[in-house]
Structure 1
Amino acid sequence: MNVNLKEIAGNWNKGVVLDKHSKSSVVTGQNEYGHNVYDTIRTDVGEALFQLKYRSDWNQVQPLAQCLYDNAYPIFDKVGFIVPMAASNVRARQPVTEVAQALAQLAGVPCFTTMLLKAAGGVSLKNLNTKEEKVAAIADSFSCEEIIENEGRWNVLVIDDLYHTGASMEAACAALRSYNKINNIYVAALTWR
């Protein structure tokens, strides 16, 4: 998979995104429900993520995890464990969680899927445009479950699918920062909008 790494800054120690989600998207008409139909050209990572999230192609999990392992993981120093970004939508299988677990297996580190929690019933951030609107909508919606039982402080790598303004990631990292077992916070997203 080709990537175009981009560094992202926020309330974390280091962060990267693998590639832009789409190269281009053109309206080609409307469907029977009056919704626009698009001809979208995606990056390699964007297409794999689209197939995983919207076509339930679970065969994309391993290639996406491998891409993170090859291109993003080496940038971070001494990752102690991996945490998937808390999901916005309830699904039987969570794409980001599956990718985070596969990455953890490749890296030989634990993946804590229940550490980062998001309160149910929040506003969908897809319908908000500015970072300020998004920050206001998700204020205090993330929490951190204190599940580490051994002594010490650990570097965590948070995995997300799509990075836009950084509002969700900053809220999630603020919750993680409150946990005294966490040292450095690293973030890696698959695509940016």
Structure 2
Amino acid sequence: MQVNLKMLQGRFERGYALDKHSLYSLPAGYNAAGHIQWHTQRTEVGEALYQLKYRQQQRYVLPLALAVQSHILPLLPAFGLIVPMASSHVRGVQPVAAIAHALGHLVGKPVLALLSKAKGAALLKDLRTRAEKDAVLTDTLILNRLIHGEGRWDTLLLDDLYDSGASVDAACDALRGYEKIGDIFVATLTWR
């Protein structure tokens, strides 16, 4: 899979995104209901993510996991745990969780859903500024304390899209509140 890595900045030790999500989007006219239609050109990673998320094309799970394994993981220190970002929508198969589990299988690491979102949380895509997103994210993420035993785990947080960084930073803040979490690294599939 063709990628164009980007280093990410935020409240984590190190992070990368595989590629930009969309290259461009042009108006393509109106449909019968009068809604504008768009012609969008996505990167290979962006198209695979789009097909997985919105067309339920499960065949993209493994190629996306392999891309994270081969392009991002060599740039990160060792970690012991993979945490998928909490999803905003209820779907039959959660794309980020599916990719996290495939990645965990590939690299022999456990995957734990340590984060979930409170019911009724506003959608970040409807907000424009980082301040608005930060305000909504306060108390939106719920930390699930699922780790048993002694010690701390360096963790890979996996997400699908990095935009302003608000959700990744909020997730890192929530994870840092857990005494079982050590260093946090981030891998996202795309950036906006």
Smaller-chain TM-score bracket: over 0.9
Identity of aligned residues (%): 49
Aligned to 1:162: 161
Cα distance in 2 between the residues matched to 1:62 and 1:73: 15
Question: How many angstroms does 1:150 deviate by?
Answer: 2.1
Name 1:77's counterpart in structure 2: 77
Matched ranges for 1:12-31 at <5 A: 12-31=12-31
Structure 1 ranges of 4+ moved more than 6 A = none
Residue 99 of structure 2: aligned partner: 99
1:139 aligned onto 2:138? yes
SS at match of 2:28: strand
Deviations 1:44-75 (A, max 9, x none): 10000010001110000000000000001112
Q: Give the match for residue 172 of structure 2.
A: 173
Q: Given that residues 14 and 187 in structure 1 are in contact (C-alpha distance below 8 angstroms), is that contact kept between their aligned partners in structure 2?
A: yes
* Contact 1:143 1:172 (8 Å CA) reproduced: no
What is the root-mean-square deviation of aligned Cα atoms in Å? 0.9
TM-score (norm 2): 0.97
Per the alignment, residue 190 of structure 2 pairs with 191
Instruction: Quote how far apart the aligned CAs of 1:34 are.
Output: 2.0
| SS in structure 1 at match of 2:147 | coil
Alignment: residue pair count: 192
Give the Cα–Cα distance (whole angstroms) in 1 for the partners of residues 61 and 152 of structure 2.
29
* CA–CA distance in structure 2, aligned partners of residues 145 and 128 of structure 1: 26
Alpha-carbon contact 1:69-1:103 (below 8 Å) kept: yes
The TM-score, its normalising length taken from structure 1, stands at 0.97
Matches within 5 A, 1:144-155: 144-155=143-154
Q: Tell me the distance in 2 between the aligned counterparts of 1:81 and 1:35.
A: 44
How far residue 149 of structure 1 moved from its aligned partner, in angstroms, is 1.0
